[in-house]
Structure 1
Amino acid sequence: MSAPGVGIDELLERIREGYTRVGPQEAYDAFLGGALLVDIRYQALRERDGLIPGAVVIERNELEWRLDPRGSHRIPQASDHELRVVVICNEGYASTLAAASLHALGLRRATDLTGGFQAWRNAALPTTPPVGTTA
């Protein structure tokens, strides 16, 4: 029997050593400066909590295909490996793995939001109301 690999907490720590994560205000400022915010939360969370205006919603299982500048299924914004991308999940865990995957595709300016959408909302940055509610 082989020895077990690293646990998820150790893996996240190792990945995060390879780039600088951003907080909510820094992510917002990056967006205002032209960065692409990418919301990878699943639909139920987006419906429950709302959206970030201007963020592109890409389901996690489609992320690499949509953001690979060489890919045939890329979104129009993914035209260059120098694209600044801030990946946003719900609490800042899955987004780390997603950012690492984007780095593997050559998107070295990809990062993720520390604390995810919940940190963004707690910082009182712009969001749309959840589905079924009014602002």
Structure 2
Amino acid sequence: MQKLAVNAATLVATARARITEIETQEAIALLGDPDVVIVDIRDPRERERTGFIPGSVHAPRGMVEFWVDPESPYFKPVFGQAGKRFVFHCASGWRSALTVATLQDMGFEAAHLREGFSAWVAAGGPVEGV
């Protein structure tokens, strides 16, 4: 097997060093704020199996860049709302860190839930769909 120039853990660490990370308790406190949009990038099967944050928007990881780009035929208006604070999450914070770093490169401001949905559940954050 070919050795990678950069491993996944390094990519995540590099992303985390340059993006905004939100701790679990802060994210729970943001729930219900009309100026905050929580975006779940997990696979649909993960959401079905473990539930989701109430009111969260689902944007599968493979489509996020296209859904936030107003010039893309896949653009979703939820991402064009002015004055909103977007907080992305996955299960453990790795995928969302990479996602937010990419979105930041595109010029889309966002943050991510540092330890992901699993920490949300462990901290007693509300969950729907289970």
Q: TM-score, normalised to structure 2's length?
A: 0.85
Tell me the number of residue pairs that the alignment of Structure 1 and Structure 2 aligns. 128
Deviation at 1:16, TM superposition (A): 0.9
Percent identity of the aligned residues? 32
Deviation at 1:126, TM superposition (A): 1.3
Q: Which has the higher contact order (CA 8 A, sep 6+)?
A: 2
3-state SS in 1 of match to 2:78: coil
Distance across 1 between alignment mates of 2:85 and 2:73:
20
- List aligned pairs for 1:65-104, cutoff 5 A: 65-79=66-80, 83-104=84-105
Whether the 8 Å contact between 1:81 and 1:106 is mirrored in structure 2 is no
Correspondence for 1:37: 38
Relative to structure 1, the CA distance from residue 77 to residue 129 in structure 2 (aligned partners, 3 Å threshold; closer, same or farther) is closer
Q: Letter of the aligned partner of 1:57 in structure 2?
A: H
| Cα RMSD after superposing both structures | 2.2
Q: Letter of the aligned partner of 1:23 in structure 2?
A: E
Relative to structure 1, the CA distance from residue 83 to residue 68 in structure 2 (aligned partners, 3 Å threshold; closer, same or farther) is farther
Q: TM-score, normalised to structure 1's length?
A: 0.82
Correspondence for 1:133: none
| Structure 1: runs of 5 or more not aligned | 131-135
1:64-101 deviations in Å (ceiling 9; x for gaps): 11122443422222225764221110111111111111
Distance across 1 between alignment mates of 2:46 and 2:4:
33
Deviates more, 1:76-85 or 1:22-31: 76-85
